[in-house]
A and B are shown apart, each in its own frame.
Chain A
């Protein structure tokens, strides 16, 4: 947990420094004094983010020192049998967590590929394929349901967006509606 907080704090500091550096490229007038310029406000905010990030890092370090005493007390009173039980359920939790992360990453990949192919193949082709793959990844195994929902939802969304809201959906290279 300590490493994670340090990385998080460090990342925020990195972005804040980048923002501060980018303000040197701002163009603009010089009326109203230095505090009214376009550079002052973002610089103050980025400095504020840096200070707050340092507080986050220091807070985590200080919290760890105070918690150490309580942790030592807890560890000495734990029984061995309880430890074994905890280890087993931890393993199970880790396993299902990994599956969840893989499903999430696959889902994210499907979404990105859909966005790429939306412009190429068009809404009418890309969408039912995306939906079908997504349903399958999320555990739907009935092919009748998969195809029915994929086509049905594609049509329903087309009616809502293209017909009711007059949104021109991507037609792709095949120029499908």
Chain B
């Protein structure tokens, strides 16, 4: 597993006109989506997932990976030009990119962001190619108890680090697991939670759930908040020399990329955290930390290299273990599953050529990111001027048609609206959406692993504690679950002291 032969087999799958073209199209769409505040790469990947079903796995996934990579970078452009990050991932980039733009160095700021993102992403890709096969090799030795405990870590991690309370994250995850159970029981063949409706025999369609929960609820919230356009006065020029500028300070680049890869590989943490940590590290290591916040190029490089390297890091557990690190990788896993491929060690065993095809697609997407991001720099300012009151109905129509296109079923559209309402209600009441989606993806793995473990042990639940690897995973789950309780008790203690001392 892993080697020159596998790399060549992946290259053979990727080096087709369609695959390369779609990777480029994906990057272009991703950057465009990332530039527009309020849209984001997650929405882009969700809306394009139905298109993947009509393409080969490598072609379809190349497009989605392109959107992921491009979208992770695109937010830096609006952060520099209008002080609004196009995506939350670019929030840390704003700290230096906007002041640079204010000083008339907008093109330089965006050029640095482009080159740093591409190079950070490439470094992330190298780690992906090295680490993922090794992790999959280890995971092949796992039996149902280890698989259950490991996927449970993924679920609890996502819930614990989601926005809002951990309890609400876990509740959302719980409902996601229930939704995953809808349909035919894989062990008995009888229906569960279908209410006699034949449309539910196969469960709730993943695309309908995803589009409704994220896209539709987001559109409703955007309409509710009011749709205002932005006045852009700065014009961007292509800055090809930025690549040399980024490479001239390799320590900053490599440190930031390593932070991104490391944090990306931990489920639930994400690119926002990695970019802030990388920014802090760059400031600490700088000879003039007091200048940070006034438009320091090293700050832009640190944040953008980290947040794009995170993409590569997040794909390591996603492909090797089938555990998504964030909602976007959850959608990517879902897209692979829709094409009949189950991410995890079996994917590496049975379809190693496709796996390496995806690795190469990821590398090529980062190269395209640099080429397209730099050459089309003047275009991004124009895109920011797009009126949201034109864009929103288009996105809603795309959501409806994309959902319909999967099975040409009106039932799927109605499911999408229901989850749109659910997603809106969840956002208004402080429930994170990611745990529900990730639980929906992991549910078909978690439940069979648990039931097989029970069959294997004759109903003895201590099997998860008697097997060493499973025991380690269970301890990690307990730490993740009890940590917020310690934090809460500590916070309460401090507040009491404050009240009594005042």
Whole-angstrom CA separation of A99 from B224 in the bound complex: 8
Choose from A8, A46, A101 the contact partner of B178 (Cβ within 8 Å): A46
Beyond A55-B167, A157-B398, A167-B404, is A22–B193 a contact (Cβ under 8 Å)? yes
Which chain B residues in 156-174 approach chain A with CB under 8 Å? 165, 167-168, 170-171, 174
Beyond A115-B417, A168-B408, is A104–B220 a contact (Cβ under 8 Å)? yes
Contact with B along A64-78 (1 / 0, CB 8 A): 001101100100000
Residues of the B chain whose Cβ atoms lie less than 8 Å from the Cβ of A32: 451, 454-455, 458-459
Whole-angstrom CA separation of A38 from B455 in the bound complex: 12
Query: Shortest CB–CB separation between residue A149 and chain B, in angstroms?
Result: 6
Contact with A along B190-225 (1 / 0, CB 8 A): 101100000000000000000000001001110111
**B192 near A42 (CB under 8 angstroms)?**
yes
**A69 near B499 (CB under 8 angstroms)?**
yes
Which chain A residues in 145-170 approach chain B with CB under 8 Å? 149, 153, 157, 161, 165-170
**A131 near B393 (CB under 8 angstroms)?**
yes
Query: Shortest CB–CB separation between residue B147 and chain A, in angstroms?
Result: 15
Whole-angstrom CA separation of A8 from B168 in the bound complex: 10
Main secondary structure of the interface of A (DSSP, over half): helix
Residues of the A chain whose Cβ atoms lie less than 8 Å from the Cβ of B177: 45
Whole-angstrom CA separation of A140 from B1 in the bound complex: 57
Whole-angstrom CA separation of A104 from B218 in the bound complex: 11
Beyond A66-B492, A138-B227, A138-B392, is A59–B167 a contact (Cβ under 8 Å)? yes
Total A-B Cβ pairs within 8 A: 167
Residues of the B chain whose Cβ atoms lie less than 8 Å from the Cβ of A135: 389-390, 393
**A27 near B190 (CB under 8 angstroms)?**
yes
Is A125 part of the contact surface with B, judged by Cβ < 8 Å?
A: no
Whole-angstrom CA separation of A41 from B450 in the bound complex: 8
Whole-angstrom CA separation of A34 from B461 in the bound complex: 11
Is B496 part of the contact surface with A, judged by Cβ < 8 Å?
A: yes
Beyond A59-B165, A101-B224, A115-B400, is A42–B178 a contact (Cβ under 8 Å)? yes
Which chain B residues in 107-138 approach chain A with CB under 8 Å? none
Contact with B along A114-137 (1 / 0, CB 8 A): 110011000000010011001100
Whole-angstrom CA separation of A4 from B488 in the bound complex: 21
Whole-angstrom CA separation of A32 from B448 in the bound complex: 13
Which A-chain residue is minimally distant from B389 (CB atoms)? Answer: A138
**B223 near A107 (CB under 8 angstroms)?**
yes
**A49 near B171 (CB under 8 angstroms)?**
yes
Residues of the B chain whose Cβ atoms lie less than 8 Å from the Cβ of A15: 175
Which B-chain residue is minimally distant from A1 (CB atoms)? Answer: B430
Number of A interface residues, CB 8 Å? 68
Residues of the B chain whose Cβ atoms lie less than 8 Å from the Cβ of A34: 459
Query: Shortest CB–CB separation between residue B383 and chain A, in angstroms?
Result: 17
Choose from A28, A42, A45, A112 the contact partner of B188 (Cβ within 8 Å): A28
**B175 near A49 (CB under 8 angstroms)?**
yes
**B226 near A56 (CB under 8 angstroms)?**
no
Whole-angstrom CA separation of A177 from B93 in the bound complex: 48
Contact with B along A26-59 (1 / 0, CB 8 A): 1111011111101001100110110011011001
Is B185 part of the contact surface with A, judged by Cβ < 8 Å?
A: yes
Residues of the B chain whose Cβ atoms lie less than 8 Å from the Cβ of A53: 167, 171
**B171 near A12 (CB under 8 angstroms)?**
yes
**A8 near B429 (CB under 8 angstroms)?**
yes
Given pairs A52-B171, A169-B401, 6 additional interface contacts (CB within 8 A):
A38-B187, A38-B192, A42-B181, A45-B177, A45-B178, A157-B401
Q: What are 14 A-to-B residue pairs whose CB atoms are below 8 Å? A: A28-B187, A31-B455, A34-B459, A36-B459, A48-B174, A52-B167, A52-B171, A56-B171, A59-B167, A66-B492, A100-B224, A107-B219, A153-B397, A165-B54
